[in-house]
Amino acid sequence: MDRRQKKTRECIFKAFTNLLSKKSFDKITVGEIIEIADIGRATFYAHFPTKDFLLKDLCEELFLHLFDTEVKPCNDKKGVFYCDDYGSVFLHLFKHIKHNDNNLLKLLSGENNELFFRYFKDGVKMLVEKHILDFRDKKPSILPNDFWINHITSTFIETLKWWIDKGLTESPEVINEYFFSAV
């Protein structure tokens, strides 16, 4: 992707997350996104076939950010997600949620969050698969690997839902401890 395409994508993401701070996903229209992003309808559809794909790509950006910062710290402010605090990949994710980066909380706690959670769960599953060795000492030998990965992923998602329902009163570090203790 060239610089211009990246800049356009970032404008679309910014317009989308701006709208998410004001209304639920199902009430946002492509027309509103393109108006705020100041782009044409054809430009939007050149990047995203539908609004659902925009949501999916926002999730992918988050998880790519997490994977990239594991390899090398990101010290530029380019991209949709930026931070200068790392730690475990799961703690890193909890911190993004606590800071409500790109209105993640609106997506996670919104009325129609099932679509987002479906995409989000795919990303968490990739994280779990990549970091399965972090859980090796906890895995009962009777469990098949795919069951174990699904269990850890579901535990993360349910921990996150519980935390959001409780108003994010605990710190990301405490929630990360709860998650690892519950697995």
Q: Which domain holds residue 133?
A: 51-182
The answer to the question of residue 93 being in a domain is yes
Q: Average the pLDDT over 100-115 and give the result.
A: 63
Token pair listed for 181: 């203790």
Please write the tens of the pLDDT for every residue from 80-93. Answer: 455 555 567 788 88
Give me 65's structure tokens. Answer: 């950010």
Contacts with 102 (C-beta within 8 Å, 6 or more apart), sequence order = 13, 17, 20, 58, 62, 80, 81
Q: Which of 21-25, 51-55, 102-106 has the lowest mean pLDDT?
A: 102-106
Closest listed residue to residue 54, CA positions, set 102, 2, 111 = 102
Q: Is residue 73 part of a domain?
A: yes
Q: Does residue 24 sit within a domain?
A: no
Helices (H), 72-171: 89-98, 104-109, 114-130, 145-165
Q: What is the CATH number of the domain that holds 72?
A: 1.10.357.10
Domain count, the chain: 1
Evaluate whether residue 129 is within a structural domain: yes
- Single-letter amino acid, residue 5: Q
Length of the chain: 183
- Inform me whether the pLDDT recorded for 178 exceeds 80: yes
- 36 pLDDT higher than 50: yes
Average pLDDT value for residue range 125-131: 89
Q: Is residue 142 part of a domain?
A: yes
Look at residue 2 in the predicted model and tell me its pLDDT: 84
Q: If you compute the radius of gyration of the chain from its CA atoms, what whole number of angstroms results?
A: 17
Check residue 100 and give left, alpha or beta (phi > 0: left; psi -120 to 50: alpha): left
14 part of a folded domain = no
Alpha-carbon distance of 25 to 50, in angstroms, equals 13
Q: Is the pLDDT of residue 75 over 50?
A: no
Residue 51 CA to residue 182 CA, distance in Å, equals 35
pLDDT score, position 78: 46
Q: In whole numbers, what is the pLDDT of the chain averaged over residues?
A: 82
Report pLDDT for 108: 67
* Closest C-alpha to 108, from 99, 96, 97: 97
144 domain residue, yes or no: yes
pTM of the complete model beyond 0.85: no
